[in-house]
Structure 1
Amino acid sequence: MKSTFLRVFLVVLLSNTVVVSIGLGIVQFVQKHNQVSADLLGDIGVQLVAGYEKFGLAALKGEAEKAEKRLSGNIYLYQENGRPLLKPLPRNFRENDTSGTTAGNALSKGARADGRPAADFLHSQFIQVIGANNVQYLLIFRPNPEIDSLAPGLVIALSLLGLLVSSGVLAYWLLGPLLKLQRVARLFGQGDMSARVEDKLARRSDAVGKLAQEFNEMAVRIDTLLSSKERLMRDVSHELRTPLARMEVALTIAEDKFAVESQKSYLCRIRTELHELDELIGQVLTLSRLEAAALSKETVHLQEWLDEIVADVSFESQLKGISVTKSGTLPKTLLGDPLQLRHAIENVLRNACFYAGEGGIIEVATEEKGGNALIFVRDNGPGVPEEKLEKIFHAFYRSSEAREANSGGFGVGLTISKRIIHAHNGCIEAKNRPQGGLEVCFKVPLV
């Protein structure tokens, strides 16, 4: 934690230092660019004073105009008594220069009451010039205000640019690793047990690196626990079938050789329970073996394949007066394991037929949307309470209504369907229909 705080502090400090340094550097550059060397101004001042003393005021103005064009600024020349020889200095430099101002207004606009000129000490340069007979003159040079006014805006613009860049670097440095962790955590939560944070991020010595290391260690432990759980379920279920087979043989011998008429009903009940237990063990084995690597994918002609499933379920349900219909012509093909997908569809269809009851109506519809094959199974049964919609896909979960109806199921069929669809990188969802009944949607990506 301390290391992370120190790094954030140093990054912010460095970014602010860079911004301030850039601003100060720009200000100094502009000021130096606008200033003229003192030696050059001194030479110009000597030339102007010599010309004035030798040729008069007209010659001074001509030479001053040439010098102003060369230096891109304004030149003001005062005698030691404060009288301007050229245009008077403005009261402040926000006013335009008044080259036509008379000498009588020079004191009011360009000089203070004590006879000294009012000057802008920040932007002006002052040179003292000695003329003939030790007469002193004051030369004031000020750059053009158009050039000087560019400096503040340029500094502000570059400072804002520096802040944006430094803030972007800081945000990326802080959020980049967290976004990577978020992506890996999402993949892991969606069932990708191999998702891990990259080694480069996990090797960091700060709190983010520690978090990445902890996540990888947690992922390994969870993966190991789930693998052990599935292995245990598979092994136990497999081992249970051996004594069940022996019990079946012993039951058959007892019925044939030793059973009396009063015992046959009990032996028949035992056989029924053995068959249910064997079926449950088979479903548990199927559930534990459903992984993406175990699928045998091939191109499935979806509509023909689905027609066969609907025909089989419809044949089984005809004695109850249940109608099973199919609609939709897209998509045409699907890449998947046809046997496992058949189990998934049949489990949901038989579940819908059971809850629809006598005279029920089951609809199977297909669509193609966003690169996915959508298969809808809709019934007109009682539906499922909203708080239980998600639970119906949990293993061994059965609603109280199903238990009271003694459906004979074990609460594993929908779980198997969900596992099969997830192994195909798809998803399965259930929702209540507005007109009554339940709608289950299979979404499988098209390749």
Structure 2
Amino acid sequence: MLMRRGSRNAALAACASFLFTVAVTGCGSDDPGNAVAPPAVRLYGTDGNMGNSFGAEFTDQAGLLAGMKGTTPLTPLSEDFKTRLRSVAPKLGDVVYAAETYDAVVISALAAQLAGEVTPARIAEQINGVTTAGTQCDTVGDCLRLARSGADIEYRGVSLKRGGFTDAGEPSTATFATLHFDTNNQINDGKTEFVGAGNEADTTRKRPPAAERQRPNNRSEQPLTIGGLLPKTGDLAILYPPLAAGAALAIKEINSEGGVLGRKVQWVDGDDGTRPDVAKATVREHVAAGVHVIIGPGASGIARAVLPDVVAAGVVLFSPCNTDAGLSTVEDKGLYFRTAPSDLLQARALADVILRDGSQRVAIVARKDSYGDGLQSSVRTELERTGIAADQLKLLSYEPPAGPATPLDFSAGAAELKNFRPDAVVLIGFGESAQVIKALAAAGVTLRH
């Protein structure tokens, strides 16, 4: 859904470059009174920082985020689903990735039911097939009843609406939302826009092993056990409430429909800490506890860190919010899946938003990890493809803070951006992106509200 402007963009870029040169030289005068004021900067975010919890980082700077917009994978959610979410999390604010988490848990349960056992390898063999070429169903109860009869099913739940999974175990299509912050530093739901991306033709055509038809009183020797590897703490903790709510609702509804293979599904909580060491320790605990499927982690970089341990243990890893495009081809022995779409799709949606606003001189600031590096590169590619010249783009990266007690110092980067004089700054990061914005404001960069 990317808007392309071709030669018109090139002409505008050339014009902007000329005006910028005039502004810097002051038409040959050293008189600061002749200098052109720098442009007001539009702020853009991505799925790691576009949420109400992020806005809470600015309690002492009311309205600083007003006008900031960004993209996130988000399907239009029904009021019924939101009400059900709040039945397990009454104080829930954001709903970003709640649907993807719900679907990851439900798909895992349906795959186990179709496999007729809770062995992780057998569950993995069924996961892609749960989403393709069968009788369509969109509720836990209907899908479980079909699966118990051994029928092929095509799950179309909350986030998975059009195409099923690809060969790589991820959605072939997705819906992205453009979110807007208001003067209270909160998301204005009334301005949210949705756009589709992806291609249904990329849905896998491979057939899973034949499903097991449930016999009367068929009961697994042990319950399906699912472990959480979600960011309760760390830089991505702002996303934890909706992730946790989505998982809790799925477990509740699966068990209210009789569970899987005659037993209630068990949930074992766990934190990924948005840190490799914390996540690896949690994975070890889950493996020791006999967990069959792990839901998470939150960050793509954490997935890369723990995936070798998960694969070695022969456990399924199923993330609701990993978006690093490189994870589509990572070596996983068929055990890694995600309900979140690749950042190749998000980059196209975000570039479209930036171009529709008329921005021509763009800085892209990203955390230095697989998520930040990958999405930064993809956004740059999409902007260049539409005619924005390479010298009108500036890429900056920063090392993520070592922990919550280590604040990010972006003062030097803010000064560099001020000298670049962008009309748009894209922030690809998690909670620490708040420090980037505060540093820009402290450096005297005028933010466009």
Larger Rg: 1
Q: TM-score, normalised by structure 1?
A: 0.18
Structure (1 or 2) with the greater helix fraction: 1
Q: TM-score, normalised by structure 2?
A: 0.18
Between 1 and 2, higher relative CO (CA 8 Å, sep ≥ 6) is seen in 2
